[in-house]
Chain A
């Protein structure tokens, strides 16, 4: 079974991002970048399925600028076999466009399973996996915390409001990874070296015939209202008094 895992290069999760003064976007100059944390989990799950003998090949794909090669190399260093960069330059790539690119990649790669991160931590859209499943006419199991493959189907436990749901999905399917699916490994130095030699193909959206025209126009990106925090209370009695008499919330 071949597994396709889309990965995205995003701002590192520890960076506090700020909008630019002219509100045209966020300031990404000299900011540390990393693989989207949910995509790390997706890659790890695919690699584990390969280690268990369930999958035969793990292909990672990234849509973005040429710098996304770094992200693909990271995925290769933790066990992915092969990478595809869909070089979109600095295009404003929106989820529908990414889903269309991935549909085209699915057409040539013919994976039996796509494991995607549930959400990227930059635009927080939470759409691509679901959209791809629709474009493919495949089953969807979003927000997975456990995946078991048995023959031509997968049993997926998903995190939902209020608890857990278990789905049985026929393959091929799209699964999106939630936080507790696994704990991704760190790449080892020798594997980082080996990853440099693994195959990485580059394509463009035009090669794939994918329409990546943005549908949403961003009018501005602004600072959220500032919260006035930093108040302190002396002790528990003071806290109770202020909650009762000042804030009047209890």
Chain B
């Protein structure tokens, strides 16, 4: 049987996490169909058709798929589910929102945030903030799965899949989007950035975050990240939070500035290739995961680092 992957996109283009979900799906074995539910999403549809390994793109078009509610998207996926052995989506705020509804409506388990595919019915997923890895086997008729993007290398282009229109399901008409405030940033997207510069409570103020971290991020072409404490203190917006319940990142280089290294934060970044920690207290747990720990006052070390780069 074939595998259905749900695309995350903004009509014009596919979000990078869709490509990671496609990579995970490829490991389960079977023809891969990519569902692009949108409204005039020609850009996303053509990018989806060009992804390596995609056998067919399913296009569902309706005004209420422009910013689909969990209710509408789940109803659409359930209407298609009969043909599939697996349904994959990214474990982003997009996928986490509607996929459990799909699973419940199909009366099957959801397997959340997988980091490995052992076989068509057996998957590995982190539990307890990544302090343990559970290998789980599903006997359900359809496997509903969300994918941790950092665990699967994105598929590239190289496909030329046909596009088939599928019927929209009538508007369920429950929740409605009334406003959307996206953080505007010239910096790379946190989840996909090669370099992440992240700050914690040690920064001490919003001004320091701006004065110290932003120039460092700009110098390195990096995305900005933060701990829960820094977000709660209002230094940066919520979408910068890295950790167990925020974003999970695994860049080539992660620079942790003024971060102590709580379990919940480590859960979001410990798979980074190289970790740098700058903190004045050498007993902080962040140093246990850092490849390069610098015990120093960040107010002096960060400007010096910017100057030397």
A142→B97 contact, CB < 8 A: yes
Asked whether A96 lies within 8 Å of B103 as measured between CB atoms, the reply is: yes
With CB as the reference atom, state the residue of chain A lying closest to B234. A180
Least Cβ–Cβ distance between B163 and chain A, in angstroms: 26
Interface centre among A122, A145, A167, A235 (most CB of B within 10 A): A167
Our pick among B112, B182, B264, B305 for the contact of A236 (Cβ within 8 Å) is B305
* Given A96-B108, A159-B93, A216 contacting B182 (CB threshold 8 A): no
A115 to chain B, nearest CB (A): 15
The B interface, classified by DSSP as helix, strand, loop or mixed, is: mixed
Residue B23 CB within 8 A of the other chain: no
Contact A217 B274 (CB under 8 A): no
User: How many whole Å from B226's CB to the nearest CB in chain A?
Assistant: 12
Q: Which residue of A lies closest to B179 (CB)?
A: A166
> Which residues of the other chain, B, contact A95 by a CB distance below 8 angstroms?
100, 109-110
| Distance in angstroms between the alpha carbons of A249 and B221 in the assembled complex | 12
- Which of A43-51, A62-70, A80-88, A239-247 faces chain B? A239-247
For the complex, give the distance between the alpha carbons of A94 and B178 in Å: 34
Measured CB to CB, the nearest residue on chain A to B251 is A249
Total contacting residues, chain A, CB less than 8 A: 80
Residues of chain B lying within 8 A (CB to CB) of residue A131? 100-101, 103-104, 110
Q: Which residues of B contact A232 (CB under 8 A)?
A: 287, 292-295
Q: Please tell me if the beta carbons of A240 and B245 are within 8 angstroms of each other in the complex.
A: no
The range of chain B's interface size is: 35 or more
Select one of B96, B104, B132, B228 contacting A223, CB under 8 A: B132
B182 surroundings in chain A (CB, below 8 A): 162-163
Question: Do residues B98 and A130 form an inter-chain contact, with CB atoms below 8 A?
Answer: yes
Using Cβ atoms and an 8 Å threshold, which residues of chain A touch B295?
232
Known contacts A139-B71, A233-B292, A249-B253, A162 near B183 by CB under 8 Å: yes
Any B CB within 8 A of the CB of A218: yes
Answer whether residue A140 sits at the interface, using C-beta atoms and an 8 A cutoff.
Answer: yes
Given A162-B183, A168-B176, A229-B288, A133 and B293 touching (CB < 8 A)? Answer: no
Residue of B whose beta carbon sits closest to that of A157: B179
Tell me whether A168 and B175 are in contact (CB under 8 A): yes
B36 CB-CB contact with A under 8 Å: no
| A247 and B177 alpha carbons, distance in the complex (Å) | 45
Give every chain A residue within 8 A of B165 (Cβ-Cβ). Answer: none
**B residues in contact with A119, CB < 8 Å:** 245
- Does A123 touch B at the CB level, under 8 Å? yes
**When the two chains form the complex, which single residue of B96, B128, B189, B290 contacts A231, counting CB atoms closer than 8 Å?**
B290
Does A125 interact with chain B (Cβ within 8 Å)?
yes
CA distance A123 to B129 in the complex (A): 8
Q: A119-B245, A124-B244, A166-B177 are in contact. Are A240 and B305 (CB under 8 A)?
A: yes
Q: Which residues of A sit under 8 angstroms from B99, Cβ to Cβ?
A: 130
Is the pair B70, A130 in contact by a Cβ cutoff of 8 Å? yes
B300 to chain A: closest residue by CB:
A236
Task: State the CA gap A134–B126 with chains docked (Å).
Answer: 25
Residues of B within 8 A of A143 (CB): 93, 96-97
Cα separation A118 to B183 with both chains bound (whole Å): 22
Judge if A22 is at the interface, Cβ distance under 8 Å: no
The chain A residues found within 8 Å of chain B, CB to CB, are: 11, 13-14, 16-19, 26, 38, 94-96, 99, 118-119, 121-135, 138-143, 145, 155, 159-170, 173, 178-180, 215-224, 227, 229-233, 235-237, 239-240, 242-243, 247, 249-250
| 18 cross-chain CB contacts under 8 A | A17-B131, A96-B103, A126-B100, A127-B103, A130-B99, A130-B100, A130-B101, A131-B104, A163-B180, A168-B175, A219-B136, A219-B137, A221-B132, A221-B135, A223-B132, A224-B130, A233-B292, A239-B294
Sorted nearest first, the 6 A-B pairs with minimum C-beta distance are A130-B100, A139-B174, A215-B109, A131-B104, A166-B179, A134-B101
* Extra 18 A-B pairs, beta carbons < 8 Å, given A96-B107, A219-B135: A16-B131, A19-B132, A125-B110, A126-B100, A130-B104, A131-B101, A134-B100, A139-B71, A140-B71, A142-B97, A143-B97, A163-B183, A167-B176, A216-B111, A229-B291, A232-B293, A249-B253, A249-B273
